[in-house]
Amino acid sequence: MLTNTLCLLTSLLATLACASDVSGASNNSDTPDIPNITLADGVPVGSIIRTGLSPLLSESAEISLKSDGDSWRRNSRRYSHFQEPQLAAVVLVKNEDDILTTMRYAQENKRTLLVKGGGNGLAKMNHLKDVIMLDLSEMNKVTLNMKAWTVTVQPGARVEELIEEIASKKFRSPFPTGDCVGVIGSTLGGGHGVFDGEYGLMIDNLLSAKMITAKGEKIVVNATENPDLFWGIKGAGNNFGLITEATYRVYLKGTLFHLTLEAEYSMESLEQLFEAMNEPDMPLEASSTIYFLPDSFMIYGHIPQIKKTEFPTRYSRLNTDTGSLIPLLECNPEGWGYEYHKNQFSVSMKTIDPGVMALVYDEFSNFVRKHHAYYASIIKFESTIVRKMDQSASGGDATLLLTYDEEINDALATEFGQKIRELLHHNTGNKVPHVLPNYARGDEPLGALYGYDMERLDKLVALKRKYDPEQFFSAMTPIPLELPEDVLSQMEEKNDGNRLKTQEVLDGKRELKEEMVEGKGKVEEKVEKVPEALEIASENPPAAKMEKAPEAAEAKPEVLEITEEKPEEEKDSRERAETARQKLGPNEL
């Protein structure tokens, strides 16, 4: 299936696989007793944390405070400064014992703990005060097992380090586009990447993980040990504990796997671009990312080296201003750098209307031209062929990333971002919003993050109660201990269409039975169930169907079919934009 990701960015967490509820034994680890401390008037919180925690850690650990200068700037560095948390201390650790000690200290002293892997979080967290950040960046070992075709990574390993280790041995693995992103952190929110078409998402290739739960238990999580939790960490992983190691399936390929086409186009080619992206015959290996810049758009196309002419040919009819082929590790897209305020808005798109995209670009370009402080901003649209594995996500995703220097620009950026997000959502084909947890802003409803299926949400809530009843791991995209009422109303709205279809089937069965009763002169007391109606009522397949094991590494991936509606007549992009604008009405812009 052709998946389009427009970075306002998302996807329905149908990526969660189903498994039975099985609990497993866990081993407790001895750690030093944690002293209870009370804040003293006039003493910085960070100083109190350092005084209390330092004696409990190993000599290799380091605690940085704001007063420490370079070490603080290095260890506290984040991808975005937009509504960032207020950090009191950063604890750089190099082993599991120090992780567990820091966790216990934070729990005993009622401190919020944030975990930093690659440091690419985007959700707004300015409501968090006096936070302890646990920096895992130096726990970054990557180990390739060439006999088993697996790779094991520590929690601080970044995509760049993963690629460098496996590519030299002619292996490849699903991973995100940005080389600075943390491997495990990306996985826990779904793991959308450049090889989705061939191998599925990163969570589809996760084989096993080691985790420290909120209760301080060290456990193994996989399909046979704690399978209920293994299901839960595939998309909601930051809610149940801290993963200290993850093992993935890798794939052997004979050549260096990847080049990138970088081409810039004039806006006259916009409509042609989206028509090309909607074509259903994209090869599984192909994927591309489109960046809307203030005056043009750019394509980063990921293509296998052996077919390096295939991707450029697809877009050859467009008016290319510039173009070049560059190696993957030299490709760092606009907006991936650290620093700056990055105000992100994401939405899942089930359908793509070239006219709406032209309208979005007009709004974006006019906004940036009028407000020069946002000139580094982009809209990112990712298009990927997704292999069908378990409940792999389908549909399209969009992201608006507003980038600027000063906090004073937050309000205007937020107002504009919300407008664009609403514009896209109303033209997605979805009744309710969806967003990939990795790209969540923090103001999305629960169903947008984890789906609107009651069975799934109930199961996630049960896992939260079991593994994190005190909600220690709840700083980002949290799962509550009780489902809020608004989730139920959103589910009702989501299922209205399916419910109507189900009722039609049931009504038909009822009419047929009444005719039988009239003809035979008696009433059957037992009403048969209607399984086909139940299947229509449910947007998600039954658990038994979703527990299908992944295919072997060399199995041919299954291609999902899509249908494309052809426009009734050809219009230029400006005409389509005006048509979309009139349909929306003045109150929706």
3-class secondary-structure state, position 265:
strand
At 376 the pLDDT is 84
Contact, 131 vs 84, CB < 8 A? no
Q: What is the DSSP string of 70-132?
A: HHHHHHT--S--TT---EEEEEE--SHHHHHHHHHHHHHTT--EEEESS----S--TT--SEE
CATH architecture of the domain 45-135 equals 2-Layer Sandwich (3.30)
Query: Which residue shows structure tokens 């947007």?
Result: 539
At 489 the pLDDT is 63
* Strand order through the sheet with 241-249: 27-28, 217-222, 206-213, 241-249, 150-153, 142-145
At 585 the pLDDT is 36
Q: What is the DSSP string of 306-347?
A: GGTTHHHHHTTTS-EEEEEEEEGGG---TT-SSSSEEEEEEE
Right CATH for 256-430 from 3.40.462.20, 3.40.50.10800, 3.40.109.10, 2.40.128.110: 3.40.462.20
CATH architecture of the domain 142-252 equals 2-Layer Sandwich (3.30)
Query: Which residue shows structure tokens 């697809």?
Result: 314
Sequential pLDDT tens for the chain (589 residues): 333 333 333 222 322 333 323 333 333 444 555 544 445 456 889 999 999 999 999 999 999 999 998 888 888 887 777 778 889 999 999 999 999 999 999 999 999 999 988 766 666 777 888 999 999 999 999 999 999 999 999 999 988 888 889 888 888 887 766 677 889 988 888 777 767 777 888 888 999 999 999 999 999 999 999 999 999 999 898 899 999 999 999 988 744 444 455 556 666 677 777 766 666 555 555 566 777 887 777 766 554 433 444 444 555 545 444 445 455 555 454 445 566 788 888 887 766 777 788 888 889 989 999 998 888 888 887 765 555 444 333 345 677 787 878 777 888 988 999 998 888 887 766 777 887 787 888 888 888 888 888 899 999 999 999 999 999 998 888 899 998 776 666 555 554 444 444 344 444 444 544 444 454 444 343 334 433 433 433 344 333 333 333 343 333 333 333 333 434 433 454 454 454 444 443 333 3
**What proportions of the chain, in percent to the nearest 5, are helix, strand and coil?**
35, 20, 45
Across 225-244, b (16+ Cβ under 10 Å) vs e yields bbbbbbbbbbbbbbbbbbbb
3-class secondary-structure state, position 474:
coil
Going from N- to C-terminal start, the domains of the chain cover: 45-135, 142-252, 256-430
For residue 430, the Cα-to-chain-centroid distance in whole angstroms is 18
Q: Are 45-135 and 142-252 equal in CATH topology?
A: no
Question: Beta-carbon neighbour count of residue 138 at 10 Å?
Answer: 16
Burial class of residue 543 (count of CB atoms within 10 Å of its CB; 0-12, 13-18, 19+): middle
Task: Return d(Cα 232, Cα 464) in angstroms, integer.
Answer: 9
Task: Return d(Cα 454, Cα 459) in angstroms, integer.
Answer: 8
